[in-house]
Structure 1
Amino acid sequence: ALAQEYSSDPNEFGMGPGGRGKGDTAAMIAGEWAKQNPEAALKWAQTLDDGEAADAIGGIFNELSQKDPQEALRMAATLDDNARGDAYESIAASWAISDYAAADQWINSLGEGQSKARYAAIESLANASPSQAARETAKLPASEERDELVAEVSREWARQDAPSAFEWLTESGSEGAVEEGIGRVVGALAQEDPERVLDYIDSQDAGEIRDNAVQGYVYGNRDAPPAETIRLAETISGEDDRQRAVTRVAYEWAREDPEATLQYLETTDAIGEDSRERIAERAERAAAGEDVGRGFRGPPGRR
């Protein structure tokens, strides 16, 4: 009944507070239906528009692969090339969590579609065992897509073991992978070993990698002395990134040392006028003895 209602008016499911996107909803409905009748769910999924059909097929095969990967493969074999590719990616992602060795053996047997299935498997594995996922990235040919995956694996690994993630990314990652992943990895490491991060930043030439590392340090190490951190933030070469980072530190500095912050605001051009006024107001309130709290939230974006 829910599937029929969705087919009649899919837009309705993505509307309202907390509403899912259409693709997410199709995947949810299909996945739940697949628990009871995967054949019927698959038949329904194939009636949807291309994008929603892909999401629904992914939901079905994600559910089915958790219980019986071989049955999922049998059903996938009945699909056309495009739908089968979507199914294979979902099977690879799900199977990688429960039995990576078996999933890897199956992926090796594929012809067309092997690359996408392997990427899906490694990306999924990163959530469960990022160190193993890191080793598996070595099987992938150099490409921008591989760089993005390496960065994603490093970010996941940094949640569990920031020093190991940092060492792996900086020693094994290509320039593109390091540029993409270093911010979040450094942000995690800065909480444990800020000196190691500062040494790394000092070793970098001006450019994106250094800028992203500095941002990671600024947003990750909230206990660093603001008077020192703000000078580091000023060295970021990108104007927008520099302004955001300097503003973040000044906002915190206003709470810790309002007088020094007000003096800084008189001399810097790295903070926009609106932010300058808010920080000055915050510093004046702090100087008057008011508890202004920490309050600032970052970091921006994926880095």
Structure 2
Amino acid sequence: MKIASLLSTLIALFIGVAGGYLIGQRGGTDQDAGAKKSQSGETSSSGIGSLAGTSKSSSKSSKTTNSPTEASGSNLTAEAKKLMSSGDVTEAMKMILNSPGSISRMEALLDFVKELEPDEVELAIDEVGKMARGGDMFMSMGLLMSRYAEIDPEKALEFVGTRDRMTRGWGTSSILRTWASKDPKAAADHLTKQMDSEGTDDWSMRRTASNVAKEWAKQDTNAALAWAKGLPGEVKGDALGNIIEQITTEDPLRAAEVAMSFEGEQQERSFRTIADRWSANEPEKALKWAEGLTVEGRVGVMEEALENWVREDPESTVAYLDKMEASERDSIMKEVVEQWARTGGDATVDAANWVASQADGEGKVDATGEVVGQWMRSDPEAASEWLGAQPVGDARDRGVAALLRDRSVREDPSTSVAWADTISDDKMRSEYVERSARSWLGSDRASALEYLETSESLSAEQKTKLIELPADQLQRGRGDDFRGRGRRPF
């Protein structure tokens, strides 16, 4: 298997199984009483984990185990297979997952798993289930579930149905996705029966249906659409969304034609998906298509394309934005600026200066808060200096609010209070000063009390309440000797 193909397969499995793990987490970690025990004998209390522990298998098995550096490629797989056949599942998995080199390890694991028989897959799944949660565990579990699904998907589903809730969560989704890649109708029929008996009020069910729909769309778009349209509620929406995403990768205009047959929120959601995926490669074409739409939510669809375009060509994107109607530009400015500022470096500075050049309005206010928030993560001193030079008004106030949410500023209460005092809106200023002063009282009470004596941002009642707060209700900062990353506003 080529490296690119191998990586794509394993990354997809990793994401799918990791997502399944999160599903399983919702249901707790209780183990079913009838869980099948591994035939490998007793293992260390930590399970395989990172495979740093030592197995307590027989000395005979230990003697026949080659070190990872002694066995490589097909030899390593063959040795691991021998251990597996002898019943030493722990040592077999340990040999594979301790082999040197990330790519070599992936290849060895894939070669090992694809030769396993159903009973061996079951033993390996139980063994991997003892591992610490992480990359090796997710990768191994995904491959094992896929292998079982290729051999006998119905038996695989029956097996994971007897396991703990986490294994059921990731196992069912992974098996059905693999089954759908070979026989999507059979997988879809099974899932439909499952939904009829168990209901659809479950995020894992929605996710699984989406995966089946996407796999089916790769083979027969019309059949996948017909099935998805018959699904209930949110399951239907997610499945149709994945089908649209798949069609877009091959033919964006065909995807748009299909989406046009949808209604309401489903249609708008699909159009946004098309614009996002299409503009990742051809932003100008995607934007031109979105611009020509006559449906409600057209500007939001354009926004998706502009967000991708601004990362690739901010100059052209800004030129386009400047020609838009002010109301339309205001409605999407925040999101576009967010993507622009995230690029970092000069792009963040350019984004901030462009926002500052805009006419006052809701768009400028929202975008100022966004650009300051992004900038504080990369260069807080530059962000503070730029913000301090902005004219008094709603936009600057929103920027100050974003700055005050930065952890380093929150942990420097005196600086936090100084910034909060510059907010022009009385109600907003009072709120942020009170919050910052509370933290200051917890870290440097003497200095905070001195400030409160002369503060005009708080009422007498607010000052009294703050001063009388018990120590356990004060938000403690880092102390007077701590200097945050952001500069004071003067």
Match of 1:301 in 2: none
2:420 counterpart (226, 233, 238): 233
- SS at structure 2 position matched to 1:10: coil
Q: Is the 8 A contact 1:150 1:173 kept in 2?
A: no
Q: In the alignment, which of 255, 272, 280 is matched to residue 89 of structure 1?
A: 272
Which residue of structure 1 aligns with residue 402 of structure 2?
216
Q: Do 1:31 and 1:59's aligned partners in 2 also have CA atoms closer than 8 Å?
A: yes
| Cα distance change of structure 1 residues 138 and 88 upon mapping to structure 2, 3 Å threshold | same
Query: Counterparts of 1:148 and 1:111 in 2: how far apart (Å)?
Result: 17
**1:26–1:238 CA distance, 2 compared to 1 (3 A):** farther
CA contact (8 A) 1:242 1:270 kept: no
Does the 8 A contact of 2:341 with 2:374 survive in 1?
yes
CA contact (8 A) 2:441 2:474 kept: no
Looking at structure 2, the residues matched to 41 and 249 of structure 1 have their Cα atoms a distance apart, in angstroms, of 59
Residues 1-303 of structure 1 mapped to structure 2, 5 A cutoff: 1=187, 3-4=191-192, 5-6=194-195, 9-11=199-201, 13-14=202-203, 27=210, 30-49=213-232, 53-73=236-256, 75-76=258-259, 79=261, 86-107=269-290, 110-112=293-295, 115=299, 117-125=301-309, 128-129=311-312, 131=314, 133-138=317-322, 140-143=324-327, 146-160=329-343, 161-172=347-358, 174-190=360-376, 191-193=380-382, 194-200=384-390, 203-205=391-393, 208-220=394-406, 222=408, 226-236=413-423, 237=425, 239=427, 242-244=430-432, 246-248=434-436, 251=439, 254-255=442-443, 257=444, 259-261=446-448, 269=462, 277-278=471-472, 280=474, 282=476
* C-alpha separation in 1, matches of 2:375 and 2:386: 8
Inter-partner Cα distance in structure 2 for 1:241 and 1:29 = 52
1 CA distance for matches of 2:469 and 2:331? 33
| Distance in structure 1 (CA, Å) of the matches to 2:475 and 2:375 | 33
Any idea what the Cα deviations from partners look like across 1:22-60, whole Å, max 9, x if unmatched? 6x7765554454344432322222224566544432322
- Give the drift of 1:154: 1.4
Q: Any conservation in 1 of the 2:351–2:371 contact (CA below 8 Å)? A: yes
Distance, in Å, in 2 between the alignment partners of 1:272 and 1:75 is 61
In the alignment, the residues of structure 2 paired with residue 45 and residue 253 of structure 1 have an alpha-carbon distance, to the nearest angstrom, of 58
User: Taking structure 1 as reference, are residues 204 and 10 closer, same or farther at Cα in structure 2, changes over 3 Å only?
Assistant: same
* Structure 2 residue identity aligned to 1:142: A
SS in 2 for 1:98: coil
Structure 2 distance, partners of 1:142, 1:272, is: 45
Q: 272-281 or 171-180: which moved more? A: 272-281
- Larger CA deviation: 258-267 vs 31-40: 258-267
Aligned residues: 274
1:40–1:135 distance in 2 versus 1, CA, 3 Å: farther
Which amino acid is the alignment partner of residue 244 of structure 2? Answer: F
Counterparts of 1:27 and 1:135 in 2: how far apart (Å)?
38
Q: Which structure 1 segments of 5+ residues have no match?
A: 295-303
Opposite residue 325 of structure 2, the aligned amino acid is P
Deviation at 1:265, TM superposition (A): 7.0
Unaligned runs of 5+ in 2: 1-186, 485-490
What is the CA–CA distance in structure 1 between the aligned matches of 2:210 and 2:220, rounded to whole Å?
Answer: 15
Residues 211 and 25 of structure 1, relative CA distance in 2, 3 Å threshold: farther
Distance 1:65 1:249, change over 3 A: farther
State the TM-score, normalized to the length of structure 1: 0.68
User: What is the letter of the counterpart of residue 9 of structure 1?
Assistant: G
Q: Distance in 2 between matches of 1:63 and 1:129?
A: 23
Instruction: From the CA coordinates, give the structure whose radius of gyration is larger.
Output: 2
Separation (CA, whole Å) in 2 of partners of 1:109 and 1:248: 49
Q: What is the percentage of aligned positions where both structures have the same residue? A: 24
Deviation at 1:243, TM superposition (A): 3.0
- Deviations along 1:96-116, whole A, 9 cap, x unmatched? 111113323434555557555
Alpha-carbon separation, structure 1, partners of 2:200 and 2:341:
38
56-65 vs 2-11, which moves further: 2-11
- Structure 1 residue identity aligned to 2:417: I
Conservation of the 8 A alpha-carbon contact between 1:187 and 1:217: yes
Matched position secondary structure for 2:408: coil
Question: Residue 52 and residue 152 in structure 1: after superposition, are their counterparts in 2 closer, same or farther (change >3 A)?
Answer: same
Distance in 1 separating the partners of 2:209 and 2:470: 46
**Whole-angstrom CA distance in 2 between matches of 1:270 and 1:122:** 47
| Counterparts in 2 of 1:261 and 1:103: CA distance versus 1, 3 Å | same
